[in-house]
Amino acid sequence: MNLDNAVWMLTGLAAVVVLLTRMRLSNEHAQSGHALVPLAIVNAHTVVGVLALGVWVYYLTSPEDLVGVVALVVWWIEVAIGLLILGRWMSRPGKHAADTTGDSWAQGPALSILGHVGMLLGISFFTWVVIADRLSA
């Protein structure tokens, strides 16, 4: 597998994480041990994620250095929002979390940790790709 294919595959996984995070956070009262995150933050997380995906895909289809840098800035904002939401959930589960109810996806934060740490690693890889100018032209 060449590097370009790996970048596209990770881009698809990033899109899945953005979508699943939106779905999981949008109905927070029905989630198992879920941090009660204000809807404005959930919306910001989704909007920034979709914007990051859009700018990133544009960069991948027409690699221009400035577009790559803008995409990275938006990706890092998305990762920061996601990690802050996850950190809020992990820091005070008794205060900010709903009682365990019907979360059919996972018990506790394991799925969210996997998704957000994966995003951190993926965006770190994207940063290396842009800085090292590793995409095929």
Residues 6 or more apart in contact with residue 119 via CB below 8 angstroms = 14, 17, 78, 79, 82
Residue 77: other Cβ atoms inside 10 A: 16
- Which tens digit of pLDDT belongs to each residue from 48-59? 999 999 999 999
> What tens digit of pLDDT does each residue of 18-31 get?
888 888 777 654 54
137 falls within a domain: no
Look at residue 61 and tell me if it is in a domain. Answer: yes
Q: Which of 102, 103, 126, 52 is nearest to 82 (CA)?
A: 52
Instruction: Enter the pTM of the model.
Output: 0.81
User: Is 136 a domain residue?
Assistant: no
Q: Name the residue among 68, 69, 18 with its Cα closest to residue 44.
A: 18
Q: How many domains does the chain have?
A: 1
Instruction: Give the residue numbers spanning the domain of 48.
Output: 3-131
What is the enclosing helix (H) or strand (E) of 18? helix 3-26
